[in-house]
Structure 1
Amino acid sequence: MTRPEPGGAETAARLAALGWQPLLAPALVLAPRPVALPPCQAVLVTSRAAARALPPPRPGLALLAVGAATAEAAREAGWYQAEAAEGTAADLARLATARLNPEGGPLLLAVGQGYSLDLAADLRARGFRVLRRIAYAARPATRLPDDVLRRVGAEGVSKILFHSPRSAGCAITLFREAGHAATIARMSALVISPRVAEAARRALDPLHWRALCVAARPTEEALLALLGPAPAGQGGRPLL
C-alpha cells in the first residue's frame, strides 16, 4: 500500500475488510499548508489532502470536488454543501463550467505543490480566472519500512496498489534502491488510472510487471474492485 498518510490507513482498513493483509509503505510524506480564502465565487479541490487543509467555509461559498471521496473529506471539514464531479480533473472542469459563470469572480483552486497545473490551464481556457493555492506539499519518502522490505524479500506479497503517478514513481525508485526491482516485477500492479499505469510502466523499465491492471474509473472503489475479496482459504494474504 504505497498511498501516503492519512489516506493510506483508510485504504488499509478497507483492504483488511476484504480479507487482505495490507502492508503500509507510503512513498510520499504530506505536509499541510494553511490556505486563506481570498474573495472568490467557488473553491475547487482535487484531493482529500487539499480538502482537509481548507479553513472553515464562508457562508454561501460553493465548493466543487474532483470526486465523491474528496467531497466527503470537504464535508468532514465543514464544507457541507460540497458537490462532487465524476473523478477526474476534466470532470471537475466540466462541472465548474456547468455550475459557475466566468464573470462571477475568480475560482480558488486548492492543490498539492506541483499538482493540477493542467486543470488550472483548462479552467483558464474556459474563461475563468484561477487563483491556484498550495494546500499541502508532498515530498518523497527517504526509505521503505523495514518490515515491508522483509516481507517483500521473502516474496510473500502478490500485489501492489498505486494511487497516483508520483507515488508510483517514488515507490518503485525506493524498491530499486533496496534491491527489489525484480521482486516487485513479479507482482501484479493495480493502478487507479491510465496515467498511473504509464508512470508504473516507465519507472519499472526495462523490467515488466507480472500484470498491470487499470481501474475502470479513477476512484478507489474501482481500484479495489480489481482486487476483490481475498481468495477462499487465503484470507490475510499480504499485499502492498
Structure 2
Amino acid sequence: MADLYRRTVLVTRPEPGLSDTGFALERLGWEPCLAPMLRIYSVPMKQAGAVDRVIVTSGQSLEALRVALPPATPLTAVGARTAERARTLGFTAVDYAEGTANSLVGHLGRAGGRNSVLLATGRKLGVDLAAQLRMNGWRVTRRVVYRTEATESLAPAARSLLEQERVAAVLFYSAATARAFLDAFGEERGLLGSVRALALSPTIGRTLGAAPFREIAIAPRPEQQALLALLGPLPTSDTNTARREIAP
C-alpha cells in the first residue's frame, strides 16, 4: 500500500526550466517538489568580435546573450526547448539540434563559407564540443556566459518526503545536478533505496550509479516529454495535487 502514497516527484534542475517542469508534472497529476541543486549566475560576455552564428548548449546561456548580441544573430540551440526560450527572448533566426552536444556537431556539419561561430557555454563546459567543431572546419570562439554553484544540502521538506517514503521519483536533467544531489546525502544515500531516478541521458545515469536507487531509468531521447513518460501511470487515479515550493 505504501506505493499508493508515492505521488511526489522531486525536480532537481534550476531555473529556467524548474517551474516549467513543475507545471508539466501537475498537468500529469503528480505532486512536484521543487528542490533545485544548482544556483546559476550569469557572467557578462567578453567581446567576441564578428561571428556568423552563436551556438547555445543550454538555456542558461541566453540571459547573457540577450544583452550582448543583436536579436537577428543566427542562433543554433542544442534542442527545441532552448530554441523556444531563445525566440521568447527576442532572437529571430533560430534553429536547433536534437538535444545533445553530438547532435549539434551533426546538425552543423562541415563548415562552409560563413564559418565563424561563437560557442556560449558555462564555466568548464563546452571544451570538447569546441574541439569537435574545429575538426569540422569551424572557427570557434568559446565564451563563458554563466557559472554554476552546487547547493550544499537538500531542502528540509524534500528530505522529509524521502524519509517518509513519499517520493516516487527524482528527475535529473544534468550530470552536475546529479552530483550535487548525491553529495548532499553523503553517507545517507540509503534513503534513496525506495526511489526511482529518471535521467535525461546515459551520462547522467552513470553519475547516478554511485547511489542505491530502486531503479535508474534513462530517457530514450534527451527531451522533457520522453523523461516524464518514464514516470508511467499514477499509483491511483484519485489524486489531489499540491505543488510544494522549495527555496534553492
- TM-score over 0.5 (shorter chain): yes
Identity of aligned residues (%): 36
The equivalent position to 2:225 in structure 1, one of 205, 221, 225, is 221
Q: Distance in 1 between matches of 2:238 and 2:15?
A: 27
Q: Does 1:106 align with 2:116?
A: yes
Mean alpha-carbon deviation: is it higher for 130-139 or for 29-38? Answer: 29-38
Match of 2:23 among 8, 13, 24: 13
Contact 1:158 1:238 in 2 (8 A): no
Q: Give deviations 1:67-114, integer Å, cap 9, x for gaps.
A: 00011111111112210111111111122226x52x524210001112
Alignment map for 1:74-113 (pairs within 5 Å): 74-97=86-109, 100-101=111-112, 103-113=113-123
1:54 matched to which residue of 2?
A: 65
Residue 78 of structure 2 contacts residue 104 of structure 2 at CA under 8 Å; is this kept in 1?
Answer: yes
Residue equivalent to 2:3? none
Q: Which runs of 5+ in 2 are unaligned?
A: 1-10
Q: Equivalent residue of 2:209, what SS?
A: helix
1:228, distance to aligned residue in structure 2 (A)? 4.0
The partner residue of 2:151 within 138, 141, 145 is 141
CA contact (8 A) 1:160 1:188 kept: yes
Equivalent positions of 1:57-68 (< 5 A) are: 57-58=69-70, 60-68=72-80
- Verify the 8 A CA contact 2:197 2:213 in the aligned structure 1: yes
Residue number in structure 2 paired with 1:26 = 36
Structure 1: distance between partners of 2:193 and 2:146: 31
Shift of 1:51: 2.2
**C-alpha deviation, 1:162, in angstroms:** 0.7
Q: CA separation of 1:78/1:229 partners in 2, compared to 1, >3 Å: closer, same or farther?
A: farther
- Residue in 2 aligned with 1:189? 197
Secondary structure at the aligned position of 2:213 is classed as coil
Contact 1:160 1:190 in 2 (8 A): yes
Contact kept? 1:157, 1:238, Cα under 8 Å = no
* Partner-residue secondary structure (3-state), 2:230: helix
Instruction: Say yes or no: does 1:212 pair with 2:216.
Output: yes
Tell me by how many angstroms 1:7 deviates.
1.6
* Aligned position for 1:128: 138
Where does residue 208 of structure 2 map in the other structure? 200
Please state how far the C-alpha of 1:164 moved relative to its aligned partner: 0.6
Give the Å deviation of 1:60. 5.0
Alignment partner, residue 119 of structure 1: 129
Checking the alignment, whether the CA contact within 8 Å between 2:16 and 2:59 is kept in structure 1 is no
Q: Secondary structure at the match of 1:212?
A: strand
- The count of residues paired between Structure 1 and Structure 2 equals 232
Partner of 2:82: 70
**Structure 1 vs Structure 2 CA RMSD:** 2.2
Residue type of the alignment partner of 2:223: T
Code of the aligned partner of 2:195: M
TM, length-normalised to structure 1: 0.89
Contact 2:26 2:243 in 1 (8 A): no
